[in-house]
Amino acid sequence: MNYHISDRMASLQPSAIREILKATSDPSIIPFAAGNPAAEAFPAKEIAAISAEILEKEPITALQYSITEGYPLLRESIKDFACRHENLFHGDDALITCSGAQQGIELTTKCLCNEGDTVICEDPSFIGSLNTFRSYKTNLVGIPMEEDGMNLELLEKALKENPSTRFIYVIPNFQNPSGYTTSLEKRQAIYALAKQYGVMIMEDNPYGELRYSGESVPSIKSMDEEGIVVYCGSFSKIISPGMRIGYVIAPQPLLAKIIVAKQASDVHSNIWAQMVCDRFLRSTDMDAHIAKLNDIYRRKVSLMTSCMEEHFSKSVRFTRPEGGLFLWCDLPEQVDMMGFCNQAVQNKVAVVPGIAFAVQPGSHTHSIRLNFSTPSDEGIVRGIEILGKMTQEF
């Protein structure tokens, strides 16, 4: 049978990089393509103890239907956590829990965008979000990403040229895939432009807590006196991605619609996991916990970059991110980037071709993304040697 697929989904094609990404499930391949937290970063024992106590003392609450907005105690403890260093709530802002930040991005897009409306994104940007925007048939406009955030002139040009822009999508901290952090000046300028042109900002901050060096920069949401920023947070990188707990902070009138959308999407997120997350936040010194994670990742990124300095051809430029999980490498212009990625898999190292993150699929790119949190230390050393040898043959 020839199935009638909706226009929005028919146009979302499985990407050319699928085979490379599939390779990450082969244990003989060194996984620089994934984005998984390090196995040693999971507070598994603490979660097991908390879970056992919940299932002993409150099994019915943990197993029964719950409310769409999220477990009330968790909404409180997330608010305390998210606001411990800066204020993310203004005016009538409120918070819901959802199934990872990804679901927050999806529900917000569903509530804000008609088909054909414009979403302005950093270019390159996170493929998961780009596919969500595409799945609602929005018009994607990419703004080139620079080391201190998106190009402001091109952002303003895009806002002028696209009056049906609904929001600007930014990952201001240790952006996926580039690893770049948007400067305070650019955050202020992006906020001012959004205000001037009457569009919203979707601030996606999954990596913000993973800062290994340098000074933290205030989030755009902390400047939001006008109620124009939707903030998406996640516990995937600091507690557990498998539990699928994220959250959205947004002005109440918009959040009310997001709740209706979530009810029609999955009723509510796993309530047991919400209770575990709540108890973990309440019983843990989160700054100390995050400092331990950052010790793990600081060591891993430093191992990877020092191996790259030793083995990589000097013709390859790469970022030295202050946090997050990714390195971005620019191969020399003349190199066949896709050929390089395919050859790497042949050599048992999986990396992601930069084209995966391009806002327009046909774009030219000669970059690749490397992840340092998933592989073991031995994997990092061996994998970079293999890639390094390949770069020496350019």
Residues numbered 5-64 forming contacts with a second copy, rule: CB under 8 A: 5-10, 12, 14, 25, 34-37, 39, 42, 44, 47-48, 51-52, 55-56, 59-64
Per-position x/- string for 67-106, each x denoting binding to a second copy as judged by CB under 8 A, each - no binding: x------------------------------xxx-xx--x
- Residue 214 or 253 with smaller CB distance to a second copy: 253
Asked whether position 131 contacts a second copy by CB under 8 A, the answer is yes
Asked whether position 295 contacts a second copy by CB under 8 A, the answer is no
Site for a second copy in 188-227 (CB under 8 A): 200, 226-227
CA distance 319 to 305: 9
Asked whether position 115 contacts a second copy by CB under 8 A, the answer is yes
- Residue 22 or 320 with smaller CB distance to a second copy: 22
Beta bridge mates, 168: 120, 201
Q: Residues 6 or more apart from 171 whose CB is under 8 A from it? A: 122, 125, 126, 204, 205, 206, 207
Asked whether position 268 contacts a second copy by CB under 8 A, the answer is yes
- Residue 243 or 355 with smaller CB distance to a second copy: 243
CA distance 183 to 185: 5
Asked whether position 339 contacts a second copy by CB under 8 A, the answer is no
Asked whether position 343 contacts a second copy by CB under 8 A, the answer is no
Q: How far is the CB of 249 from a second copy (least distance, A)?
A: 15
DSSP characters over 282-312: HHS-HHHHHHHHHHHHHHHHHHHHHHHHHHS
Q: Which H/E stretch holds residue 272?
A: helix 271-283
Q: How far is the CB of 137 from a second copy (least distance, A)?
A: 9
Q: How far is the CB of 374 from a second copy (least distance, A)?
A: 9
- Residue 121 or 387 with smaller CB distance to a second copy: 121
Q: Judged by CB under 8 A, which of 171, 193, 273, 327 binds a second copy?
A: 273
Q: Is 336 left (phi over 0), alpha (psi -120 to 50) or beta?
A: beta
How open is the CA angle 341-210-317, to the nearest 5 degrees? Answer: 35
Residue 367 contacts residue 187 (beta carbons within 8 Å)? no
How many other C-beta atoms can be found within 10 angstroms of the C-beta atom of residue 332?
13
- Residue 81 or 280 with smaller CB distance to a second copy: 280
Strands 165-170 and 149-150: unpaired
CA dihedral (232, 103, 94, 79) positive or negative: negative
- Residue 112 or 223 with smaller CB distance to a second copy: 112
Q: Of 141-149, 235-243, 303-311, 352-360, which segment contacts a second copy by CB under 8 A?
A: 235-243
